[in-house]
Copies of this chain bind each other. A is one copy, B any other.
């Protein structure tokens, strides 16, 4: 058994521990930490299960499955938090996931890949289409914030309507992106698929019933653990002296994106930078084009009004992240220093969020 699998099995122990912590009332901080750790192996197996099922059901249905379940962990945590009324944390976790994927994941990939290989190349049409889609998605998501920031006395109702309109446009764009990548321009994506398949080690056809069961159980457990994570979040983070902004932007996305982090870095160290970047950018893209709009619509359905009016500094941070990621990846080459630059950008943004005197209005 690989080191990775052993580690995942050990982390699995945190499921009973977190349950014990919750029911025996060991304190919110312990519940928060153990539930966070328990989610990690579940997220990893949900990813594996999704990919295995995708192999069986074929490229089209499999692609749709990946497109919907790819960020399932984040979506579940966010829905639970939304239902608990933690709108600010949910919004912050959207921007935090985008920032984390573009700076932290891409940064570690370029740094650790760059320590092994002097120069790493990646340059496909896919990367450029992804970057353009990302730019559009980020602009659309941040537009309500910009409208609010540049006007006075805008009503909450208007922001709500504008956010819903933006969400519908984004979901339409997401659908068209899938049409592009799976139908009209599928040939552009063939290399990536081949590389992903080469990554897989199975020689026999996966058992679809087994993996569907794994997916179901993991999804249920993630929901359970998310409930405990979210219910303990407010007390735990205030005990640590952290604002809801910092928690949402920095802490939650690290838990939700751990699987992508591991994959992107592993393949970067095998000099497959194209794949590594497509995991990092693709994950950001899915959050911006699918997860965020779904949350806006879910908020509207659940009557927990969630608009896309972010803290203005979140706007600055996302714009900055997209800009620096564009600047570093646009030449199709990377080295360790570029990884350092991305990580440095993440670090200074982290400091800024830590020191940002946000007016805390969760709860």
Chain A contacts to B: CB under 8 angstroms:
118, 125, 128-129, 131-133, 135-136, 139-140, 143-144, 146-147, 150-151, 153-155, 158, 161-162, 165-166, 169-170, 172-173, 176-177, 180, 184-185, 311-313, 315-316, 320, 323-324, 326-328, 330-331, 333, 335-338, 340-341, 344-345, 347-349, 351-352, 355-358
Q: Do B338 and A132 have beta carbons less than 8 Å apart?
A: yes
CA distance A319 to B57 in the complex (A): 44
Residues of B within 8 A of A155 (CB): 357
Is A345 a contact of B140 with CB atoms below 8 Å?
yes
* Closest beta carbon of chain B to A343's beta carbon, Å: 10
Residue of B nearest to A179 (CB): B337
Interface CB pairs A-B, < 8 A, 20: A118-B184, A118-B185, A129-B335, A132-B324, A132-B341, A133-B337, A135-B323, A135-B324, A139-B323, A139-B348, A140-B345, A146-B316, A158-B355, A158-B357, A161-B355, A162-B355, A169-B351, A176-B337, A177-B337, A180-B336
Contact partner of A136 (CB less than 8 A), chosen from B158, B166, B344, B352, is B344
**Within the complex, what minimum Cβ distance (angstroms) separates A261 from chain B?**
21
Residues of B within 8 Å of A147, CB to CB, are 313, 352, 355-356
Tell whether, in the assembled complex, residue A327 and residue B326 are in contact, meaning their CB atoms are under 8 Å apart: yes
Least Cβ distance of A185 to chain B in Å? 6
**A131:B327 contact, CB within 8 angstroms:** yes
A180 to B335, CA, bound (A): 10
Name A332's closest neighbour in chain B (CB-CB). B128
Label chain A's interface by main secondary structure: helix
Taken together as a complex, chains A and B put the C-alpha atoms of A326 and B132 apart, in Å, by: 10
CB distance from A249 to the nearest CB of B (A): 13
Q: Which of A170, A172, A177, A352 has the most CB of B within 10 A?
A: A352
The answer to whether B132 and A320 touch across the interface, beta carbons within 8 angstroms, is: no
Contact between chains at B150 and A351 (CB < 8 Å): no
What is the bound-complex CA distance between A176 and B345, given in angstroms? 14
A173 CB contact (under 8 Å) in B151, B340, B351: B340
Give Cα distance in the complex from A185 to B143, angstroms. 40
> Separation in Å of the A289 CB from the closest CB of chain B?
10
